[in-house]
Structures are given as structure tokens and as C-alpha cells.
Amino acid sequence: MPEQSAVPRTVDPRVTDIALGLAMALVVAVVIAADPDAVGHAGPGAYLFAVGFGALVLLRRHAPRTVLVVTVLAVFGYYTFQFAPIGMALPAVAALYSAAEMRRTGWAVGAGTALIAVSTYYRTVGNTPEEALTPYELVTDVALVAAAIALGVAVRLTREARVHEARAAEQRLQAERLRIARDLHDVVGHNLSVIALHSGVATEAVGRDDDAARGALEHVREATSGTLHELRSTVRVLRGPAGAPAQDAVAPTGLAGVDALARSARATGLVVDVALDVPDDALDGAIGAAAYRVVQESLTNVLRHAAATRVTVSARAADDRLVVVVSDDGRGAGSALVPGSGLSGMRERVTLLGGSVTAHDAPGGGFRVAADLPLRLET
């Protein structure tokens, strides 16, 4: 049975808007009904306004500014009919919140200020005691306006942060896929080159030197086994859950693995000289892995294209830099710099780590690849 991915479920926005609209209408209706003089101030018109305030919420996503303006005007109209007091900010809370949530914070601040200013002015100059504005009511209205706007901004920022995190996670996933693809290219390309050479040796030796043929076929078997292991490891990681660690996929060993690369190349008849002058633990893991890939790709190109008899691999650490050089006595750039040789990928990998790669004909003949890398990544 296939494993089902855990997809987060979200509430339908229409359901949210309907619930918010019903809540707004109900709250305003309850406040109207709770007025001590409800008989004189409340009526069908007042409750119709309550329904209207709730209905406006249903349009908040499509026209937040229009909803905000209409709500403010409706509040003024409500008090024009001298209905039961419901506060100036309460009917506009949902509209203020929605405007701030929909990137209309300036409109929300302006509308809230207008509500407070108009309420303060008319209730300050009122002639009857019940029209007088009390400090408690003023503070309550200001707090409601500020809370509604602040909540809208907070919800919007939280949503945008989640979107940003999702995009960053997707970018990390794409970068990891690219890394796996590069590593897989290097490993499979190198092993297939070894397989091709030993297969040719075995073909020529069959019937004339069976021991040499058996030895060549053994090298083919080892290279094939290694390639299959890398492929299985990569497929296992790609099939795993998103965000799972990928350390099992095509994991290079750093400069410590250069000797194994040299042995594999020597088995094809190539003379490989290795000179490594790098102290233990002198390199960051990513630097060592990149250096390993430079050597691997360079040896692969030599085996495929150079027709060389000897190759020299050297690595030395000096002045906080690592210099890796692979040179051969083959035919030079005409054969080594062919499309698909992997040199462009090698340059990109090293450049991302703050290094550089040069590849050109050697002065005395052959081809030379040199990589210059920092010993440590900058933190």
C-alpha cells in the first residue's frame, strides 16, 4: 500500500468568512439587546444594521478597502438614527482586521482614526449626560481599533513567513537534488569509464591470456557493484520523506578516497603518481569532498579522452588554501575539453565554495587541471 503524504489541511476561506460574519452580526445584536433602554432605542432597523455589518464581512477578501469605507459610513448612519449605542469601534473590528490582513494597513489606521475622532468630537460637545464620552469608552474604542489592526498585521506577517519558509525549503530541496545529480554523475561516469576500459582488455585477452581476462572482468565486477550501490543509495534517499538527511547518498570520502581512485585507474594500465601534502583535519568536509570530485572527474576524463600513459595527482595546503593538480601526458585539450566532460560542473562546484579551477594544456604536453580552494569555509 503506497504511503500517503501528510498534506496539511486548511479551512476553506469561505467557511472562515461566514463564521466571522455570523459572529459580527451576533455580537452587535447582543450589544443592542443589552441596552437598558432597548425598547426606545432598538428596533428592526437596529438589528438590520447588525445583519448588514455581518454581511459586509463576506466581501472582505475581494474588496477590503470598500468594505472598510462602507462599514465606517454605516457606523455613522447607525448613530444618525439614534439606535442603541454599540460603540464606534466594535462594528468596524472585522473590517479593520481584514484591511490590515490584506496589506491595507494605512487604510485601516486612517479609518480607525476617523472613527475615534468623530466619536470623540460629537460626544464631547453633546448636551445630554448620556451623550458624554467617558474615559473608559474612549480607551475601549482605541484599544479595539489598535487590537484589530495589530492582529491583522500579525496574521499577514505569519502567513508571509510561512510562504517564505516554504520557498526556502523548496530551494534547499532543489539544491540538494542538484548536488545528488552532480555526485551521481561523477561516480557513475568514473566507474563506467573503468568498466569500458577493462571490458576492452578482457575482450582482447580472451583466448590468449585468460588470467588477464579474468582480472579485467573482476575489475568490471567491482566497478559495477560500486555503481549499483551508489544508485541504490541515491534512490533510497530520493524515495524517503522530504527533508530527510541525505548523508547516505553518494557520499564522497574527501582526499582520503584519492588512493582508491588511483588504484582503480592503475588497474587499467595507467601509471598514477599521488602526492598528498595535506594535514589531517585541515579541511572542512565540503572542501575535501570537492577536492575528491575534482580528482575523480579529472581521472575520468583522462581515462576517456586523453590516451595518456601517466597521470600525476597532487594536493598541498599552504597559506589557508588547498591546491589540487591533476596532469597527464596525453593528447591535451583537443580531447579533454569535450562536451559533457564535466569540467563546467567541476568549476561551478568549486566556485560555490570560494575557489577556482583552471584547465589547459600543460607546457610539456598533456593536460593540466588545477583547483584552488580555501581550507575552511567562511562562517
Closest CA to 303 of 251, 358, 264: 264
**Strands (DSSP E) along the chain, which ranges?**
271-277, 310-318, 321-328, 356-361, 367-374
Note the pLDDT tens digit of each residue in 302-343. 888 788 899 999 999 988 999 999 999 988 775 444 444 567
Q: Which has the higher per-residue pLDDT, 126 or 8?
A: 126
Note the pLDDT tens digit of each residue in 230-259. 677 666 656 655 555 444 444 457 888 899
Check pLDDT > 80 for residue 5: no
Instruction: Kindly give the pairing relationship between strand 367-374 and strand 321-328.
Output: antiparallel
Q: Which has the higher per-residue pLDDT, 142 or 251?
A: 142
Residue 364 DSSP SS3: coil
pLDDT band of residue 55 (cuts 50, 70, 90) is very high
Note the pLDDT tens digit of each residue in 15-51. 888 998 999 999 999 988 887 765 556 778 899 999 9
DSSP annotation of 319? T
Mean pLDDT within 220-238: 71
Task: List domains and CATH numbers for the chain.
Answer: 13-133 (no CATH), 254-379 (3.30.565.10)
- Residue 357's CB: how many other CB atoms inside 10 A? 22
Residue 49 C-alpha from the chain's centroid:
47
